[in-house]
Structure 1
């Protein structure tokens, strides 16, 4: 008989098992893969972006999927707690751009090994390569789990199985099945932080494939033409659409707009000069052309941006690339400048959820006690991590959510046994 069983050995499950076992309670961690912490090991390009050091308000803004639900949990364990946890265990962290925190060693294994060592120190029982088949019930009450044909009893169960993204790490949606067995609602699942697809001729022709644009403003447009969201970051053209940080952040809004617009193709725009107004940009280009009146337009504007993007937009505006500034029609030049500020193209969706970095949707947070991660339907059932309907942007926000909710779930299991 265990006090707590934790299902899932990702970041939230590891932290939940550690937290639940801090007072010496008998805890079992079960994972269907043969290696714990697989998602942590590959996160941040193998460097592991363990958290983010921005203030609460900024962290919540970067978790557009129910981030506000985490406020209560932050009172128990927060991003600074995560930093203190690892640094007190000799994993020194460094802060990079936008508050992202990485181990100084740039090695995700240091993060994973710290968690595994703590599990061992707390004498947590670990079973890998074991698949949980279902929750166990007795007269409507959860009494444990059935795993590999065996009934394993526990006073409490924590579901930390992840979502459906990055399935090679073991996140294949098992937790949603267990949650539904317990009567919980699963909100619509969708891919987030995922590349966006397009059927535009310039995408199909691969004319821009591999081109990276720096610090542009990428927007998803509503049906009325106004931006649903804008992200000013780098982006990349691919053979199927667009990718890169700005596209990944826009992807969930592409999904949501398609849902609103009944799966129709939707518009996106690129502003190549987000810090400059249309009027200012027009003046800048006029000055450039005036200073080099006898040069071909494509040469006099060469320093303005990457050459492939420049030539593409000039062609889109109907400008003859070999004409000099003297001979370019004002209307064509105005169209070109407009495209610099507002290049509009259609997209038809995103790559599938198994290609996404993060799963949108999950166990409805309306059915969870936010300060405890406890089910409102069963007082001995807890949820943490990506199985919940919480999703953020890349940059340490999802791992922060996983570690915080994992710690809080484990803490409250530990507290429950002391009552």
Structure 2
């Protein structure tokens, strides 16, 4: 199947004047003005009307098997469905476990990732969960990274949080060394995706590891770094030292200055919004609310929709250029996680694309060349989804 998208403003994520884009199969085959379909090709011409065509979004933190459980069995969130992800403009995602590694497992995570891949997306997973020593499929994390194609790192490993396994420094060092060597042997990023809680230690355990081992700072990707003022300050110093930081979208109960739109605007104005900054949704995970005594007082479910919602608000209201906003959910993520043919609009890359209208709302989504969403509505659904429920 050939598809020719005409008259679009392409963001690679860098802006390109109005032009055309040709999809052949699952790849981007040509970019240029005045493209036409050859006479022998079976295909479709899609008029872009001068709208913006951008790379498909990469969400590196999604609880695809569900999360939660902190308030007992009934508080476990359900598995995510394909249409939820497509509506969000996400074409590539990384699944992970959280607090619950008892009723959830890495094997369940892997199977769900393969299911979403069969349904049209690109998926990866982190091996492990909050606790250290952490859950893996093979006896060691190193084996998971070398032998399982979808495993690209360890996560979500919790530190500075009352729900973590309170890992000793030596345990974190060993885990990170396993991730690094396993990544090298398996040709993967081998990163350690760290959950940061509100604990007073913050990033201090990571600084200690960096000061007394040979492990490079880029081996860590701390997330939820916009959780508190103090943690965000530490994250900025971590960024300046050459490290990666991941911001969490959808934190509507946070002070405005800690929410993703404002933080992205701040980093851009301070010239700190480099390729080392990413944003993820924490989608489909539980959103527990604790009081000062650590008692659970409320529970919600995270949405993958907040990824573009928050970046879009940063563009519209916080002076963020479109290309700068796009990088944190496309090319930056692909670079940090070493994802081949992802995160950019480029000849030979996977045709993961999002068409945005004049107000930057998601109008259409292609995943590996297949049109998944049209006129802002999913047209492809998961195996057990009911169409009437998926569109509400």
TM-score range, shorter chain: under 0.3
TM-score normalised to the size of structure 2? 0.23
TM-score normalised to the size of structure 1? 0.22
Which is bigger in relative contact order (C-alpha 8 A, separation at least 6)?
A: 1
Rg larger in structure: 1
Greater helix share, structure number = 1
